Structure 1
């Protein structure tokens, strides 16, 4: 397994949970105990939310039949590695409320995903969120109404060895770096660092 601290070096001291969490692709075909699995969604449940609307929704697959449904809308480049994950989850969000459109639905749902991913890491699990899926087919297969926005499919499980992956993915099976803080943080006004 990869030693994350050899690759990721923060510039300022932060909790190790932020450095150690990354998105591997190699999963063991090993069942996750229900109490451990549901603790991830419990962590997501407690994410902050604008006006406490809590728009996030999760649809999970953990039986052979449900996993095959999910496999039907995941694009081939992702299916090649995620089909070994014992749990797949679609993260979605309710776009409307009784007061109308909720412009914060995606922001809040991303926060819930962050909570889930950090809790998974704390429990010895890995997660990998992917946008490579057919949203319209997923909507149809999972019977999702139009006022629900589909964001990502999340693979959840225990980490496997990188040599279990196809050769072209083995070289990518390591934590990625991050942009330097000065490209992300501005004081007073925005600065375009892309064209500088």
Structure 2
């Protein structure tokens, strides 16, 4: 079944992908079960990574816990205004150096893949995820053990509540049309032959 918020795509996509969007209206009464939390983390755990290094780390803070309050306090004011109703806030970090001190150049990319897998599993669980870049990374880092790496993003996770009344400008954003760049802008040709040689010179 399609909804007004489903992606308008050139060809049909899997419903879990087409229906995913980043709501700010979370049900303040909904709670995540232990099974749901495990399913989200398992989906992230089984995502691909360079040389199977698995550099992602996830700190889950359920609403009503001191960790949730502490992580909420690191958010930018605009995010804090609505993220408090999310069932959980999840701090995602990447371990960007190996045990031998060598840099892991793909760690951040790999952690992003893990989050993408988590969001698809969330859709399957009937949950929504909103990814937040607006937070104090230094303050968030102090909430993690040093070996957890570099904070990248905070995820607000919960059940969408269409009846929840958000303040502006968030209310308008909830119903605004979803847009993406056209395919012809994101699909680019490879440069080969003489043109490639000229560019490298």
Q: Would you say same fold, with TM above 0.5?
A: yes
In the superposition, relative to structure 1, how do residues 119 and 147 fare at CA in structure 2: closer, same or farther (>3 Å)?
closer
1:110 counterpart = 2:112? yes
- Number of aligned residue pairs: 186
Which structure 2 residues correspond to residues 129-140 of structure 1 after superposition, within 5 A?
129-140=131-142
Stretch deviating more after TM superposition (120-129 or 97-106): 97-106
Aligned to 1:125: 127
Deviation track 1:134-157 (CA, whole Å, cap 9, x = no partner) reads 0011112x1442871211000000
C-alpha RMSD of matched pairs (Å): 1.8
Assess if the C-alpha contact under 8 Å between 1:95 and 1:147 holds in 2.
Answer: no
Which structure 2 residues correspond to residues 24-43 of structure 1 after superposition, within 5 A?
24-29=23-28, 30-43=30-43
Aligned to 2:160: 159
Please identify the structure whose Cα radius of gyration is greater.
2
Which structure 2 residues correspond to residues 14-93 of structure 1 after superposition, within 5 A?
14-29=13-28, 30-62=30-62, 63-93=64-94
Mark the runs of 5 or more structure 2 residues left unpaired by the alignment: 193-201
Deviating beyond 6 angstroms after TM superposition, the runs of 4 or more aligned structure 1 residues are: none
The whole-number CA distance in structure 2 between the counterparts of 1:86 and 1:17 is 20
Mark the runs of 5 or more structure 1 residues left unpaired by the alignment: 191-196
Q: Report the Cα offset of residue 131 of structure 1.
A: 0.4
Deviation track 1:67-113 (CA, whole Å, cap 9, x = no partner) reads 11112211110000100111000111101113500000000000000
Give the TM-score taking structure 2 as reference length.
0.86
Assess if the C-alpha contact under 8 Å between 1:54 and 1:108 holds in 2.
Answer: yes
Aligned to 2:10: 11
In the superposition, relative to structure 1, how do residues 11 and 122 fare at CA in structure 2: closer, same or farther (>3 Å)?
same
Higher relative contact order (CA 8 A, sep 6+): 1
Q: Alignment partner of 2:161: what SS?
A: coil
Q: Report the Cα offset of residue 162 of structure 1.
A: 5.5
In the superposition, relative to structure 1, how do residues 158 and 137 fare at CA in structure 2: closer, same or farther (>3 Å)?
same
Q: Alignment partner of 2:146: what SS?
A: coil
Aligned to 2:173: 172
1:145 counterpart = 2:146? yes
